[in-house]
Structure 1
């Protein structure tokens, strides 16, 4: 095998690892379940039950509905990701801005069967990230283009045990897809991309939830979401591909506690603590065992608190704050920037009538500067490296229509 083939195959191996980590929004997890949740930084989202989107956080909340409910909307995720102070092979290169805009639509429906039993269906996106370095970026082997989407189809049921306790659960059908380009317009390949990958896969997960209602103004919930390992099939347009293997991508399971307390007719407070099992993402490997890459990520946490003000019969106002911790440890990357993050959120609902509302949510997500250093052995005498400082911020905008029947 000549050096060109070794170089190309080695870069493909690196690129597959980067693509898969972005496919699961690793290091850049964004909640995008609803506009109402976005407006309160998703605090108390599993127990507020102000519209059907609550089922995305806790299936048991469906037992709180006594009439059919529908919610549908979209969240726009506008990322601002900067890579600065960059050294490629120990030589300074230009800064890069690699943010992009993605859209996460959602739809939820809850159908009470009787005063005890409810069922529901949901379709929403957990991840929607796009990062793109400009053409000609000198460290394009570590950068390039990543465009990722995922869709979660949920089928759920809930049962009210008595006036205080409700339980629920459901099946999650998760489809993830991603597009990756690295080393674009490579002259050694006649101007083709060194790596051009489309990958997708489907896996099954499940979720369980419970809610305790002290009374109609005070309730608490606990939910657990088991996330599976997706086996992604990649279409690799380059010599030396992995066409006969699938890439195993372990997703993190999530445990969440939520609370809601309505203090008076005008004001309520709500809060959540979420634990994300990112330690499950210890490595990526192929089903045939020909490729393994360590990541060794760490478990992370979300802490959120918010308030809702019931202004009048037409308007409801909300705000919230969230702090979530980084999943990455010692292994970092310029294409998957990660840090502790702070969310500043606000939103409102306008009640068109007694059964339907228009909801809007807005969040500014603030990251931190992180020093990154990475390198990769490609062939004897060929080991490119890059070091930089990365920072990832984002704006999220949500619009939603909700109706009961």
Structure 2
């Protein structure tokens, strides 16, 4: 679908930059809580409970532990983002230029730690710390013509969780937890305003009135072909969410898990400068999630099959709003699902092998963007566990994530002048995880 922005809307992509420049999962969700999950495409991860990281997916699964369990590790996410067949038309010109870009991605590291402490046969509690989002992307202004559609983005978030579980009987367990979410992001957007005159006159109200007020009624002069900073932002914020879940066990080899996570809107504050106009706060909507998982160890074999279906409420991310400028951009994302299936092979007492596949639906609907590439994508995963002894092990997981190509057309409207870009975006990623787990 053809997408038209005002300049305020296209430049102030802080929310998208903070939370949606992710090539490794649809929208801005990051599935990277554990190396074991990466190795099986997170199939069955709300109920498998082979280490303490399960509490990040379902707090009720803590009831499956009869010993204190610790898992700590990290994941690396390497994104491969390209723009091909791209044509860019700058402000106040009729000529188009090539605006391809080979790789706007980067590599990020997401550490995690999870601890589960059983109190008795019925109660357990746990605490964990992990990252929901984390990446680094950059379009070089010197080689990417459409500066206002690219730029630099650095993102980090941390989730601190505290949860408890209660075993009702041999079949049913329940759990609940609180999440303290911290997010931080830095964003730079430049543009080549190939015009001259008064910048304030090019804006629409209320930005025009604010621009004039800040400059004593005078506009900001712009020189022809001068590259200026369209946006410079450094913001952070907190939010509090919660999660609940249940586990139903048919027997020791067959069980099901169901969980729900409420995600808050984060009020992100900081230094935000848009063409000299200040905004102090942005509201960043986060999606709720629900997940159903199953695990089945085949009788008298060394093989288990597991699966998950996760729903994500991306429709929550309709607009990006600021305290001064109001609605900065419309996203109109849609709710989506991911479906994963995997297998585990217990080779011997030392080695456990796993594979997985996920189909992950795009959060974007008709509105698409060069700077926020998203598409339906497939996960191809494999991994293993090496059991050091009966109490400790090392896990490794690897995923290649392959996205579809998406055709994009965008327009930035300054009122008097317009720039456009057309092209095809592609976003792939490689995820690798390594963790150490131990029971006490």
Q: Same fold (TM over 0.5)?
A: yes
Q: How many Å separate the matches in 2 of 1:105 and 1:331?
A: 33
Query: Which residue pairs with 1:387 in the alignment?
Result: 422
Gap regions ≥5 residues in structure 1: 1-9
Q: How many Å separate the matches in 2 of 1:400 and 1:326?
A: 29
* CA drift at 1:186: 8.3
Query: Which residue pairs with 1:182 in the alignment?
Result: 189
Q: Is the 8 A contact 1:131 1:335 kept in 2?
A: no
Matched, 1:100 2:95: no
* CA drift at 1:194: 3.1
Query: Which residue pairs with 2:320 in the alignment?
Result: 284
Q: How many Å separate the matches in 2 of 1:99 and 1:383?
A: 27
Q: How many Å separate the matches in 2 of 1:403 and 1:186?
A: 58
Q: Is the 8 A contact 1:28 1:336 kept in 2?
A: no
Q: Is the 8 A contact 1:12 1:195 kept in 2?
A: no
Q: 2:404 is paired with a residue of what secondary structure?
A: coil
* CA drift at 1:332: 1.0
Q: How many Å separate the matches in 1 of 2:36 and 2:340?
A: 14
Q: 2:276 is paired with a residue of what secondary structure?
A: coil
Determine which of 329, 352, 360 is the counterpart of 1:293. Answer: 329
Matched, 1:151 2:161: no
Q: Is the 8 A contact 1:25 1:128 kept in 2?
A: no
Q: 2:46 is paired with a residue of what secondary structure?
A: helix
RMSD: 1.8
Q: How many Å separate the matches in 2 of 1:142 and 1:226?
A: 32
* CA drift at 1:130: 2.2
Query: Which residue pairs with 1:114 in the alignment?
Result: 120
Counterparts of 1:15-26 in structure 2, within 5 Å, are 15-16=11-12, 18-25=13-20
**How many pairs were matched up?**
393
Q: Is the 8 A contact 1:270 1:307 kept in 2?
A: yes
Query: Which residue pairs with 1:40 in the alignment?
Result: 40
Matched, 1:216 2:252: yes
1:39-74 deviations in whole A, cap 9, x for unaligned? Answer: 000000011100000001000000100110000010
Q: 1:194 is paired with a residue of what secondary structure?
A: strand
Counterparts of 1:373-384 in structure 2, within 5 Å, are 373-380=409-416, 382-384=417-419
Query: Which residue pairs with 1:3 in the alignment?
Result: none
Q: How many Å separate the matches in 2 of 1:12 and 1:125?
A: 30
Counterparts of 1:130-279 in structure 2, within 5 Å, are 130-136=136-142, 137-183=144-190, 193-237=229-273, 239-243=275-279, 245-264=280-299, 265-279=301-315
Q: How many Å separate the matches in 2 of 1:397 and 1:343?
A: 12
The structure number with the bigger radius of gyration is 2
Query: Which residue pairs with 1:404 in the alignment?
Result: 439
Q: 1:29 is paired with a residue of what secondary structure?
A: coil
Q: How many Å separate the matches in 2 of 1:350 and 1:185?
A: 54
* CA drift at 1:295: 0.9
* CA drift at 1:249: 1.0
* CA drift at 1:289: 5.9
1:161-196 deviations in whole A, cap 9, x for unaligned? Answer: 001000001001111111111117989698763322
Q: TM-score, normalised by structure 1?
A: 0.93
Residues 322 and 46 (structure 1), Cα distance of their counterparts in 2 relative to 1, 3 Å cut: same
Q: 1:105 is paired with a residue of what secondary structure?
A: strand
Query: Which residue pairs with 1:127 in the alignment?
Result: 133
Q: How many Å separate the matches in 2 of 1:128 and 1:185?
A: 29
Q: How many Å separate the matches in 2 of 1:341 and 1:313?
A: 35
Q: How many Å separate the matches in 1 of 2:339 and 2:71?
A: 25
Q: How many Å separate the matches in 2 of 1:363 and 1:191?
A: 40
Q: TM-score, normalised by structure 2?
A: 0.86
Q: 1:114 is paired with a residue of what secondary structure?
A: coil
* CA drift at 1:28: 4.7
Q: 2:431 is paired with a residue of what secondary structure?
A: strand
Matched, 1:310 2:342: no
Q: How many Å separate the matches in 2 of 1:289 and 1:93?
A: 33
